[in-house]
Structures are given as structure tokens and as C-alpha cells.
């Protein structure tokens, strides 16, 4: 068993879970001893420590590795032509209704081989690590047939074994109604419930079941059926909710006891209250609002005032948010949702870990937690969202080992 010591750390920032949401613990003059993938001890810098390997952090800043609790990384084609159409005045919904959007991605995904998509996903994973993200939630949802949804989840599972980014899989067969079911949506819902969910669960290919509950996609009643069915097979519910219109998605998330409801730009006061009562986590995706060129960001302050636990993620996908860079999302969250750096730290580490049921292992730099950190070239926490649009990451450490190092 090898012991690794991270020394010469400038400062560590991690959520102060006893202090409450947004409170940050700052540690200085410490070194971190890692043993068997975990933080064994955090000791004063002055202490003599025996170790097999010593890593100099050069006086830089350590944060818990970022946790991105909502991503769609398994896709084939990019969709820059739709981006240009949006600049020219078409809306995301108009493009989708005309057969673009998710259905555009689905057609191309189905024609591509598993190996082709896997190679592209592998590159995207590397970019996450480069930006300091050490764990993501990864959704299927561009296959929308049994075979292609399995292909998507198999890619996640196989890449989990071969590389360093940890991915927690979510089945999102209810991302859209595919072309061939447009005039018989009930048959697609039956396919989801009678075939896809049982097959996914039997092979343990997903931990969560998600639905795009939205006007023009899946109704509240349809979403409820799909999520209840997933629950019967042990899949924990999640929802894309109240993104484009107030639609009752937040209320449904409380009713089905989802772990999270995501997006929530158009959430009602009732939805906020019901989510708070049922401890459903709000996963906010302000990069999507930004990239869709909209003004109405999710009401983060109101949610926090009402006691909701808020996480923030990229929503990385080829249509509505194309960045893997959570540091950029820090800046958008600060400016557009008026969240403070301490709150955003929570939202992208420990609350994000809660949104994927991993809070006992990741999301905090504390003794006994998995040794996932990001070493950033920032003098303090406020500087991270302030100097925006660049990558501050110098090293990314997963399970105690360096998995990305910036070129000198
Ligand atoms: O979270 N809302 C649904 N899914 C994605 C968009 C996917 C796409 O456009 O390809 C989202 O924004
Ligand atoms: Fe999404």
C-alpha cells in the first residue's frame, strides 16, 4: 500500500457542513496524507511524515475535485448549425419541433458505431479532468431505442473502467419521443416501461432514471408513470423540470421523492415549498440559460432563502450547453444568480455529490473522504469566478493520484 503526501499547499477550501450552506472551511499550513485512495489525515505542515511519494503543491490552492451533477456526454455529432439558427432568431423549441435538437442527435447517434462514440466520449472526459472535474453524472438519451440506449450506457460503464473520471450513470430514455414514435407516443412510453427500464436495471447500467418533463416533450402524467416504473426497478428518480415553461415538474419531483429536480427556471412558489419539504435537491444549470441566450435565470436566492439545497452543473450536451468548464459556470452563477463563492463551492462539490448520492465519499476535503482534489492557481476563493473564461487548474487528483497536470 502506498502513502502519498501532498505538501506545500497554500490553502484548502472545503464546505463547512457543520456551519451550514455556503460556509467554507479554510485550512492553511497543512499537508494531506493519502492512503489507499482516501484522505487518511490532514496534519500541520511542520509535522514529519513518512511517505512513498511526496507531491509539492507549490503554495497553490486546493479545492475538492468538482462534481458535475448533470451532463449528457455520450453523443455523436455536434450541432453548431443550430447555434447559428438561434443567433438568427429561431428558438430552441422551434428547432426541436422542426425535427432538429435532440432528434437530430438521435438520428446520427444511431448510425454511428459504439467505438466511434466511445472515442469521442473519451476525449470529452479528458476535458472534464483538465478543468478540475473529478466526478460527473452521465446521462444516456441520444439513442431512444432499446439497443441504442444500452449502447450509450455500456459506453459509460466501459469508460468508467478504463479511465480516471468517475461517472455515475443515469438512464434518460425519456429525453424525447423519437421520430418513429411521433404519432404513437403511448407506444414509446410502453417501450420505456416494459422493455428499456427492465433491461437497464437488470444489467445494473444506471443508478438514476431521468425524464425531460416539459411542454412538448413528456407531460407530468407521463413523467410520473416513467419515474414510478423506474423506482420499481430500483432506479432513483431525477427530472428535467420547469425549464422552458412553468409545468409542475418541481411539484412532481416532490411527489415521486426524486433525489433532484434540474433546470427550474420557471419553478413556482409551490414547487419551491414542496421540494424543500421533501428535501429534493435543486440542480441549477445557468450555463444552459446563458447558451440559449435567455434572461430568466433560475431563482437561486429565493430557493436558498426557502431552505432548498442547491447544486450547480454544466448540463454539458451538444444542443443547449456545450461547455465542460465548471469554472466558467461559477462566474455565470455569481453574476446571474447572485450566488457567492462559498455557496457556489457547495453547489459544485458537496451539494452536487448529494444530488448523485455520493456525499459520503466525495465532495469534501476531510479525513476519511476519497482523495479527489483540484489544485488551482488562485490566491483566494473569490478570485475563481472573478478571473473568468480561463482554466485555473494546475493539477487534478483522483483517488490520490495525479490524473491531469498543466504543461509547464
Ligand atoms: O438538459 N433538456 C433536455 N436535454 C438537454 C438538451 C439536450 C440537447 O439539446 O441535445 C438539456 O438542456
Ligand atoms: Fe440536461
Ligand 1 within 6 A of 222 CB? no
Ligand 1 within 6 A of 212 CB? yes
Biggest distance spanned by C-alpha atoms of the chain: 70
CA distance 154 to 129: 21
Ligand 1 within 6 A of 288 CB? yes
Ligand 1 within 6 A of 105 CB? yes
Ligand 1 within 6 A of 104 CB? no
Strand positions, DSSP E, 111-176: 133-139, 166-174
Phi, psi torsion values for 68, nearest 5 degrees? -100, 105
- Which of 98, 100, 320 gets mutated to test ligand 1 (max ligand atoms within 8 A of its CB)? 320
The dihedral region occupied by 352, where left means phi > 0, alpha psi between -120 and 50, and beta the remainder, is: alpha
CA-to-CA dists, residue 163 to 76, 147, 335, angstroms: 20, 24, 34
CA distance 360 to 213: 29
**Cell output for 378:** 488562485
70 CA to centre of ligand 2 in angstroms: 6
92 CA to centre of ligand 2 in angstroms: 14
Ligand 1 atom nearest to 96, measured from its CA: 9
CA distance 395 to 406: 6
Ligand 1 within 6 A of 319 CB? yes
47 CA to centre of ligand 1 in angstroms: 50
Low-confidence ranges of the chain (pLDDT < 70): 1
CA distance 278 to 250: 11
The binding site for N-formimidoyl-L-glutamate comprises 142, 317, 319
102 CA to centre of ligand 1 in angstroms: 7
Ligand 1 atom nearest to 318, measured from its CA: 10
CA distance 61 to 383: 11
CA-to-CA dists, residue 355 to 98, 183, 258, 261, angstroms: 33, 35, 10, 9
86 CA to centre of ligand 2 in angstroms: 18
pLDDT of residue 408: 84
The architecture CATH gives domain 4-64+364-405 = Roll (2.30)
Look-up of cell digits 472545503: 14
Does the global pTM surpass 0.85? yes
CA distance 291 to 325: 13
CATH number of 66-354: 3.20.20.140
pLDDT of residue 1: 61
Minimal-distance CA residue to ligand 1 atom 9:
319
pLDDT of residue 130: 98
The binding site comprises 70, 72, 79, 142, 175, 240, 243, 315, 317, 319-320
Please state the domain extents for the chain. Answer: 4-64+364-405, 66-354
The dihedral region occupied by 355, where left means phi > 0, alpha psi between -120 and 50, and beta the remainder, is: alpha
136 CA to centre of ligand 2 in angstroms: 13
- Which of 317, 318, 323 gets mutated to test ligand 1 (max ligand atoms within 8 A of its CB)? 317
Q: What is the pLDDT of residues 96-128, one digit of tens each?
A: 999 999 999 999 999 999 999 999 999 999 999
Amino acid at each position: 500500500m502506498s502513502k502519498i503526501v501532498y505538501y506545500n499547499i497554500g490553502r484548502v477550501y472545503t464546505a463547512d457542513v457543520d456551519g451550514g450552506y455556503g460556509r467554507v472551511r479554510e485550512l492553511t499550513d497543512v499537508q494531506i496524507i493519502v492512503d489507499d485512495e482516501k484522505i487518511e489525515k490532514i496534519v500541520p505542515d511542520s509535522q514529519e511524515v513518512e511517505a512513498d511519494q511526496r507531491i509539492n503543491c507549490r503554495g497553490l490552492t486546493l479545492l475538492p475535485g468538482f462534481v458535475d451533477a448533470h451532463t449528457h456526454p455520450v453523443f455523436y455529432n455536434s450541432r453548431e448549425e443550430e447555434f447559428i439558427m438561434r443567433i438568427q432568431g429561431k428558438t430552441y423549441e422551434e428547432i426541436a419541433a422542426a425535427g432538429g435538437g435532440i432528434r437530430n442527435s438521435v438520428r446520427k447517434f444511431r448510425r454511428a458505431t459504439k467505438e466511434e462514440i466511445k472515442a469521442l466520449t473519451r476525449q470529452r472526459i479528458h476535458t472534464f479532468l483538465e478543468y478540475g472535474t473529478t466526478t460527473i453524472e452521465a446521462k444516456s438519451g441520444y439513442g431512444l431505442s432499446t439497443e441504442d440506449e444500452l449502447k450509450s450506457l455500456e459506453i459509460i460503464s466501459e469508460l468508467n473502467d478504463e479511465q480516471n473520471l468517475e461517472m455515475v450513470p443515469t438512464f434518460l430514455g425519456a429525453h424525447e419521443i423519437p421520430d418513429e414514435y411521433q404519432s404513437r407516443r403511448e407506444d414509446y412510453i410502453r417501450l420505456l416501461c416494459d422493455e428499456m427500464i427492465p433491461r437497464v436495471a437488470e444489467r445494473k447500467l444506471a443508478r438514476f432514471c431521468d425524464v425531460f418533463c416539459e411542454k412538448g416533450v413528456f407531460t407530468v402524467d407521463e413523467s410520473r408513470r416513467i419515474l414510478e416504473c423506474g423506482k420499481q426497478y430500483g432506479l432513483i428518480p431525477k427530472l428535467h423540470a420547469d425549464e422552458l415553461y412553468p409545468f409542475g415538474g418541481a411539484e412532481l419531483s416532490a411527489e415521486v421523492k426524486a433525489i433532484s429536480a434540474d433546470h427550474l427556471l420557471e419553478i413556482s412558489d409551490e414547487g419551491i415549498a414542496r421540494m424543500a419539504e421533501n428535501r429534493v435537491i435543486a440542480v441549477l444549470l445557468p450555463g444552459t440559460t446563458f447558451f440559449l441566450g435567455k434572461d430568466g435565470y433560475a431563482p437561486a436566492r429565493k430557493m436558498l432563502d426557502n431552505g432548498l439545497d442547491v447544486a450547480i452543473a454544466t448540463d454539458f450536451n451538444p444542443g443547449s450547453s456545450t461547455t465542460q468548464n465548471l469554472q466558467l459556470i461559477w462566474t455565470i452563477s455569481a453574476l446571474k444568480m447572485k450566488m457567492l463563492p462559498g455557496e457556489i463551492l457547495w453547489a459544485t462539490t458537496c451539494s452536487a455529490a448529494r444530488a448523485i448520492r455520493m456525499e459520503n465519499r466525495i465532495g469534501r476535503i476531510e479525513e476519511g473522504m476519497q482523495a479527489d482534489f483540484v489544485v488551482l492557481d488562485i490566491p483566494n476563493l473569490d478570485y475563481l469566478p472573478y478571473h473568468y473564461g480561463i482554466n485555473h487548474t494546475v493539477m487534478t487528483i483522483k483517488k490520490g493520484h495525479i490524473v491531469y497536470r498543466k504543461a509547464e
